[in-house]
Chain A
Amino acid sequence: MSLATLTAPLVLAADPLLDGAIGPGIVGIVLIKVVLAFTLLLVSVMLMVWFERKLVADMHNRIGPAEAGPFGILQTLADGIKLFFKEDLIPDRADRVVFKLAPYLSLVPAFLVFSIVPIGGDFSGDGTVTWFGETTYLQVADPPVGVLFFLALSSVAVYGVMLAGWSSGSKYPLLGSVRASAQMISYEAALGLAIATVFLTSGSLSMHEIVARQVSGSWNVLATGVVPFLVFLLAGTAELNRPPFDLVEAEQELVGGFHTEYSSLRFSLFFLAEFMNVITMSAIAVTLFLGGPAGPILTDTLGWVWPVFWFSLKVFVFLFCFVWLRATLPRLRYDQLMDLGWKVLIPVALGWFLLIATMNVAEDLGWPLVPVILAGVAVLLGGASLLTGAIQKARGDALAELADEEVEG
């Protein structure tokens, strides 16, 4: 009896590579994939930092980094080396253990999320590539609970930010981390609800399956009716603490936010995690909504290059948009941020989720689709008007109370 059949009912990462006997060759391939993903992510973070600075500079009519290497492309490397040699400070009032732990709590989830993203593979077939005579997926692991894994890790990343601020023993980091936990937790709800509609249309949590379904049908961005995609983008931007939702490290108010007290290598770990998260969030968005590596295979020779190319292209569009947002929009006020999260994104995501669920049920039970949709939309509009009414009533009451207090005082 082989190892694979023993573990079959408990399989945590489905991959044709792991069917059958596991020899040293297969372990080697797995190791190669891990190292490849690791270096790919690190190099792309390096390029992303450079790209962001260069693009923002272009949008501001500046030049940006231009001294280190051609077009300043080695600027990130230079900065990294500089940070490495800086003094590593720990404040007197810091909680030393947690202070040292926090950067890794930020960094490790950022790395791990990327391991479930399929970055290539011919999805017009079964989405595999063949290396050294072995058939495998172009992703480090494909757990059947892939998307839950992503949600879990992005929650763990909140701990990194929160503990960093708390353990610094200083007021600005504390304020930054309080903001961070409130923001990331409330936007995670909207993020999860937006992703839940993807489960409904794809019928699977595995990233590989989700991509495969999109190739046979239409991309999830259309299959789920665009709205969850937009909610995902907004909530994702907030989850990343990117502008215009970067209240966590609002320089003008909180110095550096949660990482004010960090310096040297520990600071660079936060910085690395932040940019890595931008890339992985883009990769997740591409996988969930835009068909991942799916795209036409244009040549027979080197056919495996094309899916990787389409994937990179799609991710690049997202990265461009993130930088574009940063160059254009001013930061939200804190109450605006909370309003957007709780009063707009979560209700919209929840309503849309219910609508899609109703349609799925109607399809299963053979109900006529048009009346069901009409009824669903009517119910949602009713709910929306009730919610708006409640919000306006609450606001009116609060204003009246305020006016009374002013009269008395």
Chain B
Amino acid sequence: MGYFQGFAVTFRKLFEKRVTTSYPREKRAKPDRLHGRHVLNRYEDGMEKCIGCELCAGVCPANCIYVRGADNPDDAPVSPGERYGFVYEINYLRCIHCDLCVEACPTEAITETKLFEFSFTNRSDAIYTKAELLVDDETGRPRQLPWEDWREGEDEMTSAWMRATSPSGDVTYSGRVAWSGELGYGIRAPEVGQAGDGDEAEGGSA
């Protein structure tokens, strides 16, 4: 009956559950550490984290980041340090979302969100300026641009990668907080389960 087994297979498939989702009407949940577009974070008091050191621009393999630092004005400082980033632009026609800028940043100013579904219609829209990248000064959430498709909850977990791979991704540091607080969230809790304690994805590899 070998010839006819194929027919049984295709017939069985008729009644199997479909795994297709009707994107964009429905979306599947995104992984927490997805590399989407960036945000520039703020401290809990609303100060910008960026100090204009240009390390992100230096490390960027796609040359998509343009930063200019400037001295903080004495009367109204923008960041807690000596300098701040007064120009910050990312060209999303070039960005490859490798996350090297996030690793290079000494102050956790730049992190990647889960947002990646944008459809800008001209090249100047593709260049996100500092005003667009910076989180909202009230809630600490990313700002939605007109051409971005967001769903409920997709603007959360904007610094997941940072908290997941504490220094060098070393599991012995798992659970230890080594990052500063963020506006609207405070000091975020570390991601659980990296040492293999009950996390299915890691499978007890530690």
Contact = CB atoms under 8 A, between A and B. Distances in A.
Contact of A329 (B6, B11, B20, B22): B6
A61 B7 contact: no
Nearest to A67: B22
Contacts of A58: 13-14
A402 to B, nearest CB: 29
Contacts of B16: 61
B168 interface: no
Interface string B9-45: 1110110101110100000000000000000000000
Contact of A324 (B10, B18, B19, B22): B10
Given A328-B6, A329-B6, A59 B20 contact: no
Given A328-B6, A329-B6, A61 B11 contact: no
B25 to A, nearest CB: 10
Interface residues of B, number: 12
B18 A328 contact: no
B92 to A, nearest CB: 29
A328 B6 CA distance: 6
Contacts of A60: 13
Residue in B10, B14, B20, B22 whose Cβ sees the most chain A Cβ within 10 Å: B10
Contact of B18 (A55, A63, A329): A63
B206 to A, nearest CB: 37
A320 to B, nearest CB: 10
Contacts of A398: none
A153 B13 CA distance: 38
A66 B22 CA distance: 9
A327 B10 contact: yes
A327 B7 CA distance: 8
B19 A61 contact: yes
A103 to B, nearest CB: 32
A63 B11 CA distance: 15
Contacts of B14: 55, 58-59
A59 B18 contact: no
A62 B7 contact: no
A60 B12 CA distance: 10
B6 A61 contact: no
A242 to B, nearest CB: 15
A55 B14 CA distance: 8
A242 B6 CA distance: 18
A62 B6 CA distance: 17
Contacts of B7: 324, 328
Contacts of B19: 61
A328 B9 contact: yes
A328 B14 CA distance: 12
A230 B53 CA distance: 79
A80 B11 CA distance: 30
Contacts of B20: 62-63
Interface string A101-135: 00000000000000000000000000000000000
Contacts of B13: 58-61
A59 B8 CA distance: 10
Q: Which 6 A-B pairs give the minimum distances between C-beta atoms?
A: A59-B10, A328-B10, A328-B6, A327-B10, A63-B20, A58-B14
Interface of B: 6-7, 9-11, 13-14, 16, 18-20, 22
27 contacts: A55-B14, A58-B13, A58-B14, A59-B10, A59-B11, A59-B13, A59-B14, A60-B13, A61-B13, A61-B16, A61-B18, A61-B19, A62-B18, A62-B20, A63-B18, A63-B20, A63-B22, A66-B22, A324-B7, A324-B10, A324-B11, A327-B10, A328-B6, A328-B7, A328-B9, A328-B10, A329-B6
Given A59-B10, A66-B22, 15 more contacts: A55-B14, A58-B13, A59-B13, A59-B14, A61-B16, A61-B18, A61-B19, A62-B18, A63-B18, A63-B20, A324-B7, A324-B11, A327-B10, A328-B7, A328-B10
